[in-house]
Structure 1
Amino acid sequence: MRSETPVVELPIAVETAYFRLNNKQIFVPISAKLASSALQWAQKSGRRQVEFDFAAEVHDSQSGRIAGALRDTITVRFDTERYEEIQQNALVYQGGIILPPGNYKLKFLARENESGRIGTFEDDLRLPAAQPDRMQLSSIVLSSQLVEVQKSSEVQTKGFAPDAKLKELPLDVGGERIIPSVTRVFTNQQKLYIFFQAYVSEKTDLNHLRAGLEFFRNGARVSQTPTVAPAQVNDRTRTASFRISLPLSTVAMGRYTVQAVVVEAGGAQVAFGRNYFALRLPVAPSVPATPAVTGSSEN
């Protein structure tokens, strides 16, 4: 973690987001994608097994001090049939760190323990402070996968990040968890899920909030969705959660900008957020869903 030179022995792709827990705490989910076919799986008792160490350090951009850290050891075991299925897909690790608002530098490391190969990722984190008189949005998270919030016998976790242990993650809605897309590349055989939260003051009625999506391609708006009510509201944290889904079967191939718009019905509050994705033709037959290897944020 102390090296200034990125290590690419183990190819990984990493995606972060942010969700406000309260005015002083922000949850930063960290998702890392590793291609199953590139891993060195051990064979034990008729099952395939791979073990990883995941670690993250977050440093304050100005002072350089460590503001947060995460460490997980994950063991994944599959029977022969499941192993063959997953070779065409990827493993997605999910962890998380709780931080105060501010600007940070993230360094993330993944180590495959069978081969000792290491991959690292670095990025800047900008976590906005709460503005009491203004509606604000979280990150706009894109996904093609929902899973039930439950433990799996295929995955065993040893977590070492007590400050990130939450009873319920912001990505959990109605007993289901949205698995963020790390690459944000989808096919026309998938359904696109868009998840985000709106944060408002006591003056705003959460149940009056409505949200819709606008899609842009080459700078021009090509479509939009009807507005919807929140999927879930939390009066204590003044949070409205939105989850909108749409099939991609009729969407043209290409690169898109998706803009989320949240308005207060009959009021003056409005907020916008954006993300980006690409749509391509499928390159292989569909396979069962990618397993989510969940880290210490769930413990």
Structure 2
Amino acid sequence: MYKRVNFVSHREWQVCLWVLLAAWVLGGLITPPLKATPQDQSSDSKMSKAEKKRQKAIQKEMETPYKKWIEEEVPYIITNEEKAAFKKLTTDDERETFIENFWERRNPNPSSPENEFKEEYYRRIAYANEHYASGIPGWKTDRGRIYIMYGPADEIDDHDSGGTYIRPPEEGGGETSTYPFEQWRYRYIDGIGTNIILEFVDPTMTGEFHLTMDPGEKDALLHVPNAGLTDMEAMGMASKADRFTRTDGMTIGTPMGALPESMEEFTRLDLYAKIFQPPEVKFKDMKAVVTSKISGTLLPFDVRTDFLRVTDESVLTPITIQIAYRDLQFQNKDGVMHSVLDIYSQLTSLGGRNVDTHEKSMVLDVPEHEFQQSLSRKAVYQYAVALHPGRYKLSLVMKDDQSGHMGSEELGLVVPHFDEDKLSNSTLILADLLQPLPTSQVGTGPFVIGGTKVRPSVTRTFSRDQNLCIYMQVYNLGQDPKTHKPSLDIQYELLKDGKPLLDQAEDPARLKEASQQFTLEKQMPLRVLQPGKYTVQIKVKDNIKNQTISPSDTFEVQ
């Protein structure tokens, strides 16, 4: 046994030596020193430490609530320039001023203290969280994002259950089965165009709809041979395999005619790019913040506040004011009894910083022949403002234009913080009116919460011919890891003098609709109750988290 040894020739040794020598020379020329001089190293270390310290301080200041404001409240409408400017700010006062200016730039009516854009924006977030949640908060979904940015669609073609679908000619025609999908149509979106159609598809059947550029994505039979054929495929004039060789990003069949412009590749790409861009800022004028201190005690009125979560750091706060007709002075104008009530309110932080100023004139007109009966009525007015959790002072002034009588009240507000991990609820609202709204009115106007009109009873006083209307939102429900659905029990209790009169469970069918957020809407007739004071209590048990809440409130039947 032996091994053969191959010797290297003299010529090969010379080549190797020359290669090694060249590598050593070049390495010395282009390779930087491995170790800096002590002086340079010390200088670099000092600079990096100072910069790191500064960046760390800014990051700590940005953690709450400003980080959540920029990442969870306004991420869809803040421009890149605004975001860059905000991140350069170093003090809370600068950030507060920036946020005030941010909303003022978008105020459609700078001469008014009421920022309609801001109020509408937070209403949309609340609606999206209530209607589009699917394992993640509604505002994070594609449908929620589009709704928040552009409001309710003018038309919605709803196929939430999927099933049989007759394709339009531009998609190839023919019959197929689809996954759940929705088509939203906007007649006009500023900066984008007219007749905008957006399609959301849920191919996973989990309730997670996403915006798609491919009309063929909703086809559940797309990958099933010889099923769900288009007209041309059924006639043998095209092959289903052709759908997968298209170069325009779609998987639809070959249509009979030409594609409409809206379905051309670059048109779809342009729409998809623009639809997610922050809307252009048009209203840049700033208005001065006017503060005043006024007082009076001649005109009595009642006020209540409620709190509903929008995000973890933003709470929608409806302020409801009630005043009796009999306390106002009316003037007869051509057979109509006329009165005007001026409303002024101011919200300030504990440090005295103005948070919101609201002025409104409420006109009350009653036909002369109905005037005497109307004196038993009450005028109710409501506006809402989005607030960060914390303490505030609310100053209210009412003035009767006819008599000049004024009334004022100051009260403290403690806006709650809704913990992300803890089962919690909005204010338990006892209302005298609770009704669903048509799509055109969803999310707009006084007394509107999402898709429901809720008019709180300010004094919680009802007559026996009324219904007791209950409204409450439940937040942070746990979800089963397998079903991605919550499991909860809800019990309504009616008590008098601490003794139970009624015990009723929530409809199980409604509980199946629950997501991370659930809305309670209940109406109870009061005709069976005798005059007196009662307590309504709602027990909500989250079986996933093993947490329970039991909010309650009192009311009176007259």
TM exceeding 0.5 = yes
| Equivalent of 1:20 in 309, 314, 336 | 309
Instruction: Tell me if 1:64 matches 2:352.
Output: yes
Give the aligned residue type for 1:179: R
Give CA deviations for 1:61-101 in whole Å, capped at 9, x if unaligned: 3x232222322122222333454442221111112222111
1:178-206 CA distance string (max 9 Å, x none): 21111112222221111111111674767
Find the residue that maps to 2:456 and give its secondary structure. Answer: coil
Give the 3-state SS of the residue equivalent to 2:551 in structure 1.
strand
1:29 to partner: Cα distance: 1.1
Q: Contact 1:135 / 1:198 at 8 angstroms: preserved in 2?
A: yes
Consecutive unaligned residues in structure 1, runs of 5 or more: 151-165, 281-299
Q: 1:24-48 CA deviation, whole Å, 9 max, x = no partner? A: 2111111111111221112223322
Instruction: State the shift of 1:19 in Å.
Output: 0.9
Contact 1:68–1:99 (CA<8 Å) still a contact in 2?
no
* Letter of the structure 2 residue corresponding to residue 77 of structure 1: D
Structure whose alpha-carbon radius of gyration is higher: 2
Cα distance in 1 between the residues matched to 2:551 and 2:500? 15
Counterpart CA distance in 2 for 1:234 and 1:57 is 37
1:185 matched to 2:476? The reply is no
Does residue 92 of structure 1 match 2:377? no
Q: How does 1:126-205 map to 2 (within 5 A)?
A: 126-146=414-434, 167=444, 171-172=448-449, 174=451, 176-200=452-476, 203=479
Aligned to 1:37, the other structure's residue is in SS state: helix
1:144–1:70 distance in 2 versus 1, CA, 3 Å: same
Q: Indicate yes or no: 2:334 matched with 1:45.
A: yes
- Tell me the TM-score normalized by structure 2: 0.42
Task: Give 1:245's aligned amino acid.
Answer: Q
CA RMSD of aligned residues (A): 2.9
* CA positional deviation for 1:208: 4.1
Aligned to 1:122: 410
User: Residue 224 and residue 123 in structure 1: after superposition, are their counterparts in 2 closer, same or farther (change >3 A)?
Assistant: farther
Equivalence for 2:293:
2
Quote the Cα distance in structure 1 between the aligned partners of 2:474 and 2:424: 6
**CA shift in 2, pair 1:121/1:148, >3 Å:** farther
Establish whether residue 224 from structure 1 lines up as the match of residue 513 from structure 2. no
Q: Residue 4 of structure 2 corresponds to which residue in structure 1?
A: none
- Alignment size in residue pairs: 259
The letter for the 2-side match of 1:139 is T
Secondary structure of the structure 1 residue equivalent to 2:326: helix
Q: In the TM superposition, what is the alpha-carbon distance from 1:262 to its structure 2 partner?
A: 2.0
In the superposition, relative to structure 1, how do residues 232 and 142 fare at CA in structure 2: closer, same or farther (>3 Å)?
farther
> Aligned residue for 1:286?
none
Task: Write the letter of the residue equivalent to 1:13.
Answer: D
Pair 1:207–1:244, CA change in 2 (3 A): farther
Matching residue of 2:534: 256
- Give the counterpart letter for 2:419 in structure 1: Q
Q: Choose which of 316, 324, 328 in structure 2 pairs with 1:35.
A: 324
Amino acid at match of 1:143: A
Q: 1:104 aligns with which of 368, 392, 401?
A: 392
**CA–CA distance in structure 2, aligned partners of residues 139 and 244 of structure 1:** 15
**Is contact 1:149-1:172 (8 Å) kept?**
no
Q: Identity, % of aligned pairs? A: 23
Q: Does 1:80 align with 2:368?
A: yes
Distance 1:45 1:18, change over 3 A: same
Cα distance, 1:137 vs. partner?
Answer: 0.5
Cα 1:122/1:249, change in 2 over 3 Å: same
The question of whether the paired residues in 2 share the 8 Å contact of 1:185 and 1:279 is answered with yes
- Return the offset for 1:269: 3.7
Q: 8 Å contact 2:297–2:408 — kept in the other structure?
A: yes
What is the rounded CA distance, in whole Å, between the counterparts of 1:72 and 1:216 in structure 2?
A: 39
State the structure with bigger RCO (CA 8 A, min sep 6), 1 or 2: 1
Higher strand share: 1
CA distance in 1, matches of 2:376, 2:367: 15
Letter of the structure 2 residue corresponding to residue 67 of structure 1: V
Question: In proportion to residue count, which structure has more helix?
Answer: 2
* Aligned counterparts of 1:78 and 1:233: Cα–Cα separation in 2: 43
What does the per-residue CA deviation read over 1:93-113, in whole Å, with 9 as the maximum and x for residues that have no partner? 112222111112211111111
Cα distance, 1:170 vs. partner? 7.5
